[in-house]
Structure 1
């Protein structure tokens, strides 16, 4: 999980999504599930330098879903039939490619989240047709990173268009903003389905609770809804957009070896060099998961960072073939 989002999940730091971060320097792929004979038959795919990155599809569902979803204080919307449909209309326009573009506008093009939100709402025609909010006060909370701030500004903007007195407030980490959301001091927060499920799971059922989030969005949302009911939270419809741990190569690498998915990579390439954060070889959703789920032949690991500039630079410079990134990272913009 990215550094900026790991602070959001302090309680869930050891849970599913955080465990998907990676690495320990000097690890090797000697204990893969691939047989020696089949591994030996694979071509050694050396890293290929390039300016652009592409995420390989996690076609076997190694990672837990983390779709964007509006989390709402239930009492604040009691008797209000407008707020959730407005937020759902936003969710319907958000896929991961769109989220990458929003992040690029802020993180690369240096626009403000407010500017980006205003342009997005106009471009998608999301302004409400009726002014029904009657000045009702809505506080949209945001975590302390740009993606969350932009999503909060979009939520607030669409609610303002319907006549609500909607403002945004940046709070910080999840363990800081989630209690005010339960208490109604915050009305809405843009959340991540899998991460919030595990946060509430640990909060309600203890640090050793069995994980409830999975690679199945419907099942994860069912668990999240049940947990939310216990603490007074409701949820809108999750967007297709995800901010989830992913594995990327350069587009030059993908083109050379003709791979689009992790399964294709596993059947095409051996001798892979993986890059990521230091805990990767010990985390089930990183190197061990790649080996167990996909039988990837990873022969070397380079300790870098969690989806940050070190990993992305190492991939682009051809120092590692495959690296852990985040699915909505601005660096993935076409």
Structure 2
């Protein structure tokens, strides 16, 4: 659901945060970014222009990529966030940008809405087949931002929960909180029933922060919360494992034009990907979205902390 951003339907976070900015401009990255770099339209010859969707996590990852490249002597610039997937992919194809952080499963379902692949290797292979000939995916990070079934620590301890299968044993005691569409989707209650026989006693259709609040207040015993949502950190929630892959694996992947994907660039970005985990991405999301720290500052700290400079 999150960040699938098909032409017909954007993801929930995108729906809330993405405007169709840049859609009417020949160069969507036309202004200076918060990093103080040159705008994409005036980037030095050969510089890699890193684009981002218009939500904080995408902007953060873009800033990390740019900081890592610059730290190793490869000129990289960032600009204003662009908008929805169909806008920034068009910018990539037209050459307005050269690199953008992506999410593997969401990118696959943009190209193939009926995709059934969910395991990481299968998702990656399917995406590669759909990409334009001028683009390529680099290595995926362990970090992913995907749908989850999440519970409070109190509930996890009470029922000894580690996996969704464990929760299914208590279905008759579970009120499930999630966006309305979760109820009828394969990546939702339909899939949870088919693969885990999880059929909650009731369903609360909620949006945004109300989902985490219902979980926190015990108005729901389980909820659909995205894996890097700051509430997981701030409220100490427990994400249940999904070994049967009801939810597609949305690992973070750099999508880059082949012309800019030199061996040096690939090596630098692969090193970033190797250090990027769901846990540290969620912590950085919290720093940006909850603690209101500057994105460029958080990105540079990540580079420093992980020896990527």
Given candidates 200, 217, 231, the residue that maps to 2:120 is 217
Given candidates 184, 206, 209, the residue that maps to 1:282 is 184
How far the C-alpha of 1:297 sits from its partner, in A, is 3.3
State whether residues 6 and 109 of structure 2, in contact with CA within 8 Å, keep that contact through their aligned partners in structure 1. Answer: no
SS of residue matched to 1:331: helix
Rounded Cα–Cα distance in structure 1 between residues aligned with 2:8 and 2:228:
20
Moved over 3 A (4+): 112-115
The C-alpha deviation readout for 1:280-324, integer Å capped at 9, x for no partner, is 22212211221121111311111111xx20000000001011111
Q: Please report the TM-score for the alignment, with normalisation by the length of structure 2.
A: 0.62
The CA RMSD measured in Å over matched residues stands at 2.4
Given candidates 102, 105, 109, the residue that maps to 1:194 is 105
State whether residues 138 and 167 of structure 1, in contact with CA within 8 Å, keep that contact through their aligned partners in structure 2. Answer: yes
Spell out the pairing of 1:316-327 with structure 2 (5 A cutoff): 316-327=216-227
Rounded Cα–Cα distance in structure 2 between residues aligned with 1:10 and 1:193:
13
Rounded Cα–Cα distance in structure 1 between residues aligned with 2:167 and 2:111:
35
SS of residue matched to 2:162: coil
How far the C-alpha of 1:10 sits from its partner, in A, is 3.6
How far the C-alpha of 1:224 sits from its partner, in A, is 1.1
Tell which has more relative contact order, 1 or 2 (C-alpha 8 A, sep 6+): 1
Unmatched 5+ residue regions in structure 1? Answer: 19-111, 116-133, 203-209
State whether residues 140 and 189 of structure 1, in contact with CA within 8 Å, keep that contact through their aligned partners in structure 2. Answer: yes
What's the counterpart of residue 228 of structure 2? 328
Q: Please report the TM-score for the alignment, with normalisation by the length of structure 1.
A: 0.57
How far the C-alpha of 1:113 sits from its partner, in A, is 8.0
Rounded Cα–Cα distance in structure 2 between residues aligned with 1:196 and 1:272:
32
What's the counterpart of residue 248 of structure 2? none
Unmatched 5+ residue regions in structure 2? Answer: 13-32, 37-43, 237-309
User: Per the alignment, do residues 10 and 223 of structure 1 end up closer, same or farther by CA in structure 2, a change over 3 Å counting?
Assistant: closer
What's the counterpart of residue 273 of structure 1? 175
More strand by share: 1
Rounded Cα–Cα distance in structure 1 between residues aligned with 2:7 and 2:125:
21
Rounded Cα–Cα distance in structure 1 between residues aligned with 2:7 and 2:171:
38
Alignment of 1:138 with 2:48, yes or no, is: yes
What's the counterpart of residue 159 of structure 2? 257
Rounded Cα–Cα distance in structure 1 between residues aligned with 2:8 and 2:226:
18
State whether residues 139 and 167 of structure 1, in contact with CA within 8 Å, keep that contact through their aligned partners in structure 2. Answer: yes
Q: Which has the larger radius of gyration?
A: 1
User: Per the alignment, do residues 285 and 113 of structure 1 end up closer, same or farther by CA in structure 2, a change over 3 Å counting?
Assistant: farther
Rounded Cα–Cα distance in structure 2 between residues aligned with 1:114 and 1:245:
30
User: Per the alignment, do residues 143 and 264 of structure 1 end up closer, same or farther by CA in structure 2, a change over 3 Å counting?
Assistant: same
Greater alpha carbon shift after TM alignment, 139-148 vs 294-303: 294-303
Alignment of 1:293 with 2:195, yes or no, is: yes
Alignment of 1:179 with 2:81, yes or no, is: no
How far the C-alpha of 1:114 sits from its partner, in A, is 5.4
Rounded Cα–Cα distance in structure 2 between residues aligned with 1:113 and 1:298:
45
How far the C-alpha of 1:149 sits from its partner, in A, is 0.5
SS of residue matched to 1:191: strand
State whether residues 47 and 74 of structure 2, in contact with CA within 8 Å, keep that contact through their aligned partners in structure 1. Answer: yes
Rounded Cα–Cα distance in structure 1 between residues aligned with 2:94 and 2:108:
18
Rounded Cα–Cα distance in structure 1 between residues aligned with 2:231 and 2:133:
37
How far the C-alpha of 1:225 sits from its partner, in A, is 1.2
What's the counterpart of residue 52 of structure 1? none
Task: Count residues with an aligned counterpart.
Answer: 206
